[in-house]
């Protein structure tokens, strides 16, 4: 069996907050052109995993690798340069509230890539259209949008430059089912049609199956289960089963330590 | 047992006193170091490309133009009050006639720059800390990194430039309005002749009086912008953290303004 070099990998990553290990030896990788979905309970460190991947949090131990090159010891300047190949959607969208929606989407094009404003605006409006936000929204400020609209604007900002690798922190949370479907479609398009590599976090298992080639479950700072998206239903691991079955099983005792 | 305890007591007392002292000294040293590193990075970012003209323009307007009313009002009242005070005080030793000269010197060399800077500390330093702190809290600064843009070049640099360049201009305005306030009080409340007041003012003022005040103002402008940026950028812990950052920005700006005012005045008075 030949092992191709992963596009992106966490290798033994440990991240502690005040002595508590949130990531406790995280090993996870994704191959070029594949879509990996990370699932896991609230507070299990999914967002922290993405932030260490991006160098926004420094791991206490371990390596982060892009195309086999370590990212941990890069200077901020080098990392920013590398980010021209990366698109990120933050869990809270993180739109710049002093800029209009289209200026947000075109931020990298204008401020880092030197694209003229007019051309950047056209591309921003096109990207907004892909997330079902019309041109009327483009001129509003983020504070004038609903949470779901902000999320979609953040998504447009992540994909506008057609980056090689994409990080999505809960792309469909808070969206109505129709828009959520459109977003799922957009993400799988990015991967299948444009060949990007995607790493997404989601709580929505339908969405996970739609956008993910593979699914990894993060539990207590490590990968508890990993497999093809279609195999999630057959997983035997009890923690994974409970997570996957939660909807079917109905109400559970929130105080129980068993819950992931 | 008891004896051993007693023998340890003075030791414990000493460490109880010394340890917190040492710890806070270390913390203070660390803070000064961190501000120094931040200031160096910020200065380099302000003076080297990439520049963001839109951001620079925006900060010039926000910091310079919109501070004009507060600075102007402060200056006119202070100038007028100063004139009345010096006139009455000076009357005790027959010095009331040199009041215009004292007002002019006091305002250009000291009160113009310091008052303008304090108003800016309250208005601008707080606003900068709140804005950048909120951006930190909502991950906008992280997002900016991932969009290949250096927050030091985009956020901090333009504010620093605006502080350093706009506060001297505001001080020039404060000087003019402050002297005008003195003139108003002298001619309306007291019985000074307008022509004499103006002649006395012009005769006494030398270029250096004004220029030294403007140099001070540039330094104060740097302090105000830097403290706002530093405390905002390093804010932690959501809305409460932003509130704390704002307070710290204002207090540290004000203290540094007074301290550097004294230092600069020492240097300037010895030089001339
Ligand atoms: N900056 C920080 N300082 C201290 N603790 C943090 C910080 N960021 C995250 N944590 C802690 O790390 C843990 C994991 O947080 P994280 O945001 O990664 O959870 P998550 O898996 O994304 O959860 P959710 O699904 O609710 O978004 C939490 O317990 C959180 O309290
Ligand atoms: Mg999260």
Residue A224, chain B, CB below 8 Å: the answer is no
Radius of gyration of chain A (CA): 18
Rounded to a whole number, what is the distance in Å from the CA of B219 to chain A's nearest CA? 28
pLDDT digits (tens, 9 = 90+) for B133-161: 999 999 999 999 999 999 999 999 999 99
Least Cα distance to A50 among A151, A169, A163, A161 occurs for: A169
Kindly indicate the confidence band of residue B4, based on its pLDDT and cuts at 50, 70 and 90. low
- Average pLDDT rounded to a whole number, residues B228-233: 98
Quote the mean pLDDT of chain A.
90
For residue A61, the cross-strand partners are: A14
Look at residue A175 in the predicted model and tell me its pLDDT. Answer: 87
| Nearest ligand, measured from the Cα of A38 | 1
Look at residue A63 in the predicted model and tell me its pLDDT. Answer: 95
Q: Which protein residues have their CB within 5 A of the ion that is ligand 2?
A: A 47, 91
Least Cα distance to B171 among B231, B117, B229 occurs for: B117
A78-212: which CATH topology?
Rossmann fold (3.40.50)
- Average pLDDT rounded to a whole number, residues B229-234: 98
Distance A41 CA to ligand 2 centre (A): 9
pLDDT digits (tens, 9 = 90+) for A169-202: 999 988 899 889 988 998 888 888 889 999 999 9
What sign for the dihedral angle of Cα A118, A120, A126, A129? negative
Q: Which residue puts its alpha carbon closest to atom 20 of ligand 1?
A: A43
Top residue of A111, A161, A164, A167 to mutate, by most chain B CBs within 10 Å, is A111
Domain regions of chain A by residue span? 1-33+56-73+216-223+235-260, 78-212
Look at residue A260 in the predicted model and tell me its pLDDT. Answer: 47
Residues of B in contact with A94 (CB under 8 A): 138-140, 142-143
Percentage of chain B with pLDDT > 90?
A: 85
The answer to whether residues A68 and A5 touch, using CB atoms and an 8 Å cutoff, is yes
Q: How far, in Å, CA of A213 to CA of A47, rounded?
A: 20
Instruction: Determine, for residues A83 and B52 on separate chains, whether the beta-carbon distance falls below 8 Å.
Output: no
Q: What is the DSSP letter of B139?
A: T
| Nearest ligand, measured from the Cα of A51 | 1
Q: What is the DSSP letter of A234?
A: G
Q: How far, in Å, CA of B104 to CA of B108, rounded?
A: 6
Q: What is the DSSP letter of B67?
A: G
Distance A81 CA to ligand 1 centre (A): 27
Distance A143 CA to ligand 2 centre (A): 22
Q: How far, in Å, CA of B186 to CA of A14, rounded?
A: 72
Q: What is the DSSP letter of A242?
A: H
State the residue for tokens 């710290």.
B248
Give residue ranges of B with CB < 8 Å to any A CB: 50, 52, 131, 134-135, 138-140, 142-150, 154
The answer to whether residues A97 and A86 touch, using CB atoms and an 8 Å cutoff, is no
Token pair, residue A213, equals 């080639």
- Average pLDDT rounded to a whole number, residues B240-254: 96
pLDDT of A11 strictly over 50: yes
């Amino acid at each position: 069996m030949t092992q191709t070099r992963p596009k992106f990998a966490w290798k033994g990553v440990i991240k502690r907050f005040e002595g508590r290990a949130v990531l406790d030896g995280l090993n996870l990788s994704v191959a070029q052109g594949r879509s990996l979905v990370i699932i896991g309970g609230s507070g299990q460190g999914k967002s922290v995993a993405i932030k260490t991947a991006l160098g926004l949090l420094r791991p206490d131990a371990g390596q982060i690798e892009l195309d086999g090159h370590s990212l941990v010891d890069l200077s901020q300047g080098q990392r920013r340069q590398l980010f021209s190949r990366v698109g990120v959607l933050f869990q809270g969208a993180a739109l710049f509230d002093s800029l209009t929606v289209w200026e947000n989407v075109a931020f990298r094009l204008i401020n880092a890539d030197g694209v003229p404003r007019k051309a950047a605006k056209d591309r921003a409006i096109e990207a907004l259209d892909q997330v079902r936000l019309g041109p009327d929204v483009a001129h509003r400020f983020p504070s004038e949008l609903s949470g779901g609209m902000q999320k979609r604007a953040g998504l447009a900002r992540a994909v506008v430059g057609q980056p090689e690798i994409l990080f999505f922190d809960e792309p469909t949370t808070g969206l109505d089912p129709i828009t959520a479907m459109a977003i799922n479609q957009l993400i799988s398009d990015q991967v299948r049609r444009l060949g990007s590599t995607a790493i997404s976090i989601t709580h929505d298992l339908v969405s996970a199956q739609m956008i993910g080639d593979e699914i990894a479950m993060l539990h207590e700072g490590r990968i508890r289960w990993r497999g093809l998206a279609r195999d999630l239903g057959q997983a035997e691991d009890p923690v994974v089963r409970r997570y996957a079955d939660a909807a079917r099983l109905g109400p559970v005792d929130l105080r129980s330590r068993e819950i992931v | 047992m008891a004896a051993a305890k007693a023998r340890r007591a003075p030791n414990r007392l000493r460490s109880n006193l010394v340890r917190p002292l040492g710890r806070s000294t270390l913390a203070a040293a660390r803070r000064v170091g961190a501000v120094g590193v931040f200031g160096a990075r910020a200065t380099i970012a302000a003076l080297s490309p990439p520049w963001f003209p839109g951001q620079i323009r925006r900060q010039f307007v926000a910091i310079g133009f919109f501070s004009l009313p507060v600075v102007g009002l402060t200056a006119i009242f202070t100038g007028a009050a100063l004139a009345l005070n010096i006139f009455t005080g000076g009357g005790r030793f027959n010095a009331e006639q040199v009041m215009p000269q004292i007002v002019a010197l006091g305002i250009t060399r000291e009160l113009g720059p310091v008052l303008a800077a304090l108003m800016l500390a309250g208005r601008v330093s707080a606003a900068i800390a709140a804005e950048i702190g909120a951006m930190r809290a909502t991950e906008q600064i992280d997002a900016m990194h991932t969009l290949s843009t250096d927050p030091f070049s985009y956020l901090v640099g333009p504010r620093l430039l605006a502080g350093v360049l706009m506060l001297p201009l505001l001080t020039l305005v404060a000087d003019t309005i402050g002297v005008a306030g003195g003139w108003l009080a002298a001619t309306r409340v007291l019985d000074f002749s307008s022509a004499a007041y103006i002649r006395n003012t012009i005769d006494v003022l030398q270029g250096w009086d004004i220029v030294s005040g403007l140099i001070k103002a540039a330094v104060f402008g740097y302090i105000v912008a830097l403290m706002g940026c530093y405390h905002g950028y390093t804010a932690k812990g959501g809305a409460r953290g932003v509130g704390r950052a704002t307070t710290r920005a204002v207090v540290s700006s004000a203290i540094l303004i007074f301290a550097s005012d004294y230092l600069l005045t020492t240097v300037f008075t010895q030089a001339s």
